[in-house]
Structures are given as structure tokens and as C-alpha cells.
Amino acid sequence: MKVLFICNKSPYPAKEGGPIAMHRVIDGVVRAGHSVKVLAINSFKYNIDINDVPEDYKQKTGLELEFIDLRIKPINAFFNLFTDQSYHVQRFISSSFSKKIVNILSAEKFDVIQFETLFIAPYIEEIRKYSDAKIVLRAHNIEHLIWQRIAETTINPLKKIYVKHLANTLKKYEINAISKFDGIAAITKKDGDFFRQINSNVVDIPFGIYTDEYDTQEVEKELPSLYHIGSMNWMPNEEGIRWFLDNVWDMVHKRFPDLPLYLAGRNMPQWLIKSDYVNVHVVGEVDSAMHFMKSKGIMIVPLLSGSGIRIKIIEGMTASSPIVSTTVGAEGIMCTHEKDIMLADTPKDFVAAIEKLVDNPSFAKKLGDDAFRLIENDHNNKIIIQKLIKFYEAICTVA
């Protein structure tokens, strides 16, 4: 089977959620013995030099990059208020990217073309002109749901109006686009249930890992300590950390004056870098996420909005970290409160959960160990990719 992956970001290097998820599927399909080709968008925000990509990766994926200026343009964003078009989607429309797709399809024949995220959907009609391949959407999230939730937590009234507009126009586009795909590979069952209301060909394909390949080398762990890791150019991450620092951290610090909190990830905002929260250390991007997670104690995931599945929770569980997350943050993971995760949706609940883990090291260790076993059972990438390939084969047999 030959699969073309069209990605909104380069899957290499896999340094944040989206690229990690894309890389895991692409790598899994290659390992399963199938041929792949990858076309990815380069942008100012996530720019990759093709010369920095290892030759063996380029050979096995045929990776090509095409630049699109995805920067928000204030004038365009303002006038979008008076249309029913999704500004999120409009930013991804590019004649040069369309031409690149046509060139690839003119040179090669594919069985399946997989779109990584909804924002590639404007190219469906063009692809159908040049290819009879089945088109699959790898849905990393229910995209409009993220913005609905952001709107709900936005306080500024003018900003709230605009975010609601973004959410409503994106929802309209998303619902219309879902019906145009030959199949949907949802990242969680919950997301899949939403898509099944619109498209009958939906399969649940969670984020998968190879637990036997993660570095098992012992790392000196700083106990007790808290940490968060995640790309801060994703709005829900920044929103969640700001909420935690403003509403939770002071109570945690009063209860545990010596307890440090480490914040790691790409694109730390200036307000956070310049902040002076006591015992909060802004680490920024780290060389190895797994080494960082293993070197710290309790992971916090204070997400208030978002959709899909939090890959960093999956990786944190792989590192056997005890995790405190909001219910929204843990969506899509078949975890159980106080068995393999701690769930907390209010400041007091967060403090109580952290207190229980810090005061009971044996409970914290068991929580982390059980979390690792959950990942071994539910997120085995070999099994997940087999399921995806069978899905490909099934839709390819449909006339």
C-alpha cells in the first residue's frame, strides 16, 4: 500500500504534540512494510530546514516541505468578522501548496492520502481531480470544540465575541468538511463518536508508543517537585498555565514552601519568562522530554480547553510520572481517578491532589506505575497501526 501524508507541520523533528503524533503514525506505517510520501507545510512559526533532516528519514518518507505564511494578519482577521468563512482554514489556502500537491500526484499514484488535521481540507477538491486515492482525515482534535471552550473561559467581552465567531465559523466548516472524506481516523473514541454522526467510516486510532524503545536508563529524580511540559504556542497550554499560576500556585506554595515547579516546552511567552512567581522555574525547550520527565516528580496538566488527546500525558505516563490533570486534559485516555491519574477541576482539588501525592510517596509511585501499565495495554503502536492499515484496506475496497 502507498500512502501520501499531507501535514500541517513537518513530522520531523518530533518536538511537540502534533509532529510527535504524525511521526508516530508515519513511522508505524513504514515499519509495517508500506510505502509513504510526506508533504508538510513550513511556516514562520514552525520552520524546518530540509538540510537538517537526516538522509535516511528523507529516503523512507520522501519528505518535501512547502512554505505557507500562516501569520495572523490583523486586517484580514478583522474583516473576517463580517463573513461566514473560517479564518483558521482560510490561512492554509495557498496556490503554491496546491501546485506542489498536483505535481506530486502527477508523478506518483497513491492508494490513500491522509490529511493530518482539518486545516488541509481545502485541497480535497483539487486532489480528487488528479487522484482516485481514498482520502482520510487524521483528526487530532474536534477543532471547533477547542475554540468553543476558549470562548467560554474568555473574560474580555470584545475578545469573547471574536473567539465565538472563530468557533462558530470553524464548526460550520468542520461539519461540512467531515462528510467529504472517505474515512476519519479519530484520535479518541469520544471524538470518533462525534464524527460518526456525520461520516459512517470512522475508526478510533489513539496515539501509540513503543514502550520497549523508551530509554529505561535510571535518572536521578528530584523529589518532591512539580513539572509541566508542553509547547506554549498552543493557546490551551498557555491558558492553563496562567490559570494554575494565578489560582493554584499560591495555595500550593503556602502548603509546601520548598516545592519547586518547572515549566518546560517550546515558545515560552515573554510574560512567563519575565514573571517572578516564587519557586517557579521557566526551563523552556529541553533536549529530551523523556529525560526531563523522568528527572522530576509530579506532572501537572491544568488544561481548561482543548480536544483530542494530550500526548504529553501519554508520555508522562510512559515515564511513570504521577499526574494531576483536569478532566478536559485527560479526555480520550481511559484512565481512572486515584488509580492511574489524579483528576482536579478546581484550585482546591488541585491543591488536595498535589498534597496527597507529596505526602504519600508510595501512593505517588503506585499511581505512576499503574499509569505505565495503562499505556502498555491501551497505546501499543504496533497494534494501533495494524488497526489503521485494516481501515485503509477496508475503505479501498469500497467502489
The three cell numbers locating residue 200: 459512517
Q: Which residues of 364-398 are buried (b: 16+ CB within 10 A; e: fewer)?
A: beebbebbbebbeebbbbeebbeebbebbeebeee
CATH classification at residue 326: 3.40.50.2000
State how far the Cα of 259 lies from the Cα of 280, in Å rounded to an integer.
Answer: 9
Angle 17-31/381-396 helices, nearest 10 degrees? 70
Sign of the CA dihedral running 167, 170, 175, 181 = negative
Residues 302, 135 contacting (CB under 8 angstroms) = no
Residue with cell string 470544540: 145
Q: What confidence category does residue 310 fall into, taking pLDDT thresholds of 50, 70 and 90?
A: confident
Same domain, 344 and 390: no
Percent of the chain with pLDDT over 70: 98
Per-residue confidence at 15, pLDDT binned at 50, 70, 90? confident
In this structure, the answer to whether residues 253 and 374 fall within a common structural domain is: yes
pLDDT score of 390 more than 90: yes
Least confident of 6-10, 66-70, 153-157, 263-267: 153-157
Residues 130 and 258 in one domain: no
Q: Which domain holds residue 73?
A: 2-208+380-396
Show Cβ contacts of residue 393 under 8 Å, excluding neighbours closer than 6 positions: 1
Q: Please tell me whether residues 123 and 235 are part of one structural domain.
A: no
| Joined grid coordinates for residue 102 | 498536483
Q: Are residues 332 and 227 in the same domain?
A: yes
Residue 280 confidence (pLDDT) above 90: yes
Q: What is the mean pLDDT of residues 257-279?
A: 96
With beta carbons less than 8 A apart as the criterion, state whether 286 and 305 touch.
no
Distance CA 305, CA 348 (A): 19
Q: Mean pLDDT across the chain, nearest whole number?
A: 94
- Of the chain, the percentage scoring pLDDT greater than 90 comes to 85
In tens, the pLDDT along 111-127 reads 999 999 999 999 999 99
Q: Are residues 118 and 172 in the same domain?
A: yes
Considering the domain architecture, whether residues 192 and 321 belong to the same structural domain is answered as no
Greatest mean pLDDT among 138-147, 214-223, 387-396: 387-396
If asked whether residues 65 and 195 sit together in one domain, one would say: yes
Per-residue pLDDT of 24-54, as tens digits, reads 999 999 999 999 999 999 999 899 999 999 9
Question: Is there a single domain that holds both residue 160 and residue 33?
Answer: yes
CB 123 within 8 A of CB 98: yes
Strand arrangement of the beta sheet that strand 2-7 belongs to: 64-67, 35-42, 2-7, 112-116, 134-139, 183-186, 202-204
Instruction: Write out the H or E segment, with its range, that includes residue 24.
Output: helix 17-31
CA 70 to chain CA centroid, Å, is 18
Contacts by residues 281-284 (CB-CB < 8 Å, ≥ 24 positions apart): none
pLDDT of residue 309: 74
Examine the domain organization and report whether 331 and 269 are in the same domain: yes
Cell of 317: 505516563
The count of C-alpha atoms lying within 13 angstroms of the C-alpha of 86, restricted to the half-sphere facing its C-beta, is 23
pTM assigned to the model:
0.80
Q: Are residues 232 and 307 in the same domain?
A: yes
Cβ atoms of 183 and 203 within 8 Å: the answer is yes
Amino acid identity, position 50: I
Contact 302, 243 (CB under 8 A): yes
Rg for the chain (alpha carbons), in Å?
Answer: 21
For range 80-104, the mean pLDDT: 96
Q: What is the pLDDT of residues 210-257, one digit of tens each?
A: 877 765 567 899 999 999 999 998 889 999 999 999 999 999 999 999
Instruction: For residue 361, give the nearest of 209, 224, 169, 174 by alpha carbon.
Output: 224
Is there a single domain that holds both residue 306 and residue 166? no
Q: How many domains does the chain have?
A: 2
